[in-house]
Amino acid sequence: MKSLIILMALALLTACSSTSPVSVNAVAGPPTNLTVEITEVSNTKGQMLVLLFDNSADYHSDKNVNDPDAHFFRKLVVAPTSPLTTVTFESVPAGKYAIHVIHDEDSDGGMDRMIFPFTGMPSEPYALSNNIHDSFSKGDFEEALFTVKAPNTKIQLTLSTHLSKVTGL
């Protein structure tokens, strides 16, 4: 029982982490092409949402990409290719960013979540920059940050379901 209380407290603290709408990039760097290779794409259903963030408030928002109040530094919506989907953001100012990829298999513009047995757990495959994951939340923005350097930067992300991230299966 004590471990359950500690686990719930940690989940609450993680969910309450501070967010800011201010960009982590004080100065825009030179234009850079950012190539994102998304591996372990298991099918070509729906669409791939590739979302680039420069601040923690937008990163932690889970708004549907079609919501007029949703904000991203940049977003690309592409048809998935299996087993690898590659996208390139052109002319991104060099700096620090975080990426969230969602394999939106039903093309509804957002991350589907389980109702039972793991209420709220993402049910569609996704990836976060630096391949981070957290059992109870999206993970820390600062842990997801990576550096984009001119003239070209390439990163690789591994797509998987939340259940496989948590269990390792």
pLDDT per position as a tens digit, 119-146: 778 889 999 999 987 766 678 999 999 9
Q: Residue 122: what pLDDT?
A: 85
Q: Which pLDDT belongs to residue 97?
A: 98
- What mean pLDDT comes out for the span 142-163? 92
- What's the pLDDT at 17? 52
DSSP annotation string for 22-79: S-S-SS---EEEEEEEEE------SEEEEEEESSHHHHH----TT-TT---SEEEEE-
pLDDT of residue 123: 87
Domain ranges in the chain?
A: 29-167
- Give yes or no for a contact between 168 and 160, defined as CB atoms under 8 angstroms apart: no
Per the CB < 8 A criterion, the answer to whether 138 and 62 are in contact is yes
The H or E element that residue 163 is part of is helix 162-167
3-state secondary structure of 141: helix
72 to each of 8, 21, 114, how far by Cα in Å?
30, 11, 25
Average pLDDT on 144-163 reads 92
Question: What does the pLDDT look like over 11-68, one tens digit per residue?
Answer: 444 444 568 889 999 898 999 999 999 999 999 999 999 999 999 999 999 899 999 9
Q: With 70 as the cut, is the pLDDT of residue 83 above it?
A: yes
Nearest to 100 by CA among 80, 120, 72: 72
pTM (2 d.p.): 0.84
pLDDT > 80? residue 99: yes
Location of structure tokens 């997801």: 144
Question: Taking a C-beta distance cutoff of 8 angstroms, is the pair 101, 160 a contact?
Answer: no
Task: Tell the residue number behind the tokens 């299996």, with chain if given.
Answer: 82
The domain over range 29-167 is classified in CATH as 2.60.40.10: yes
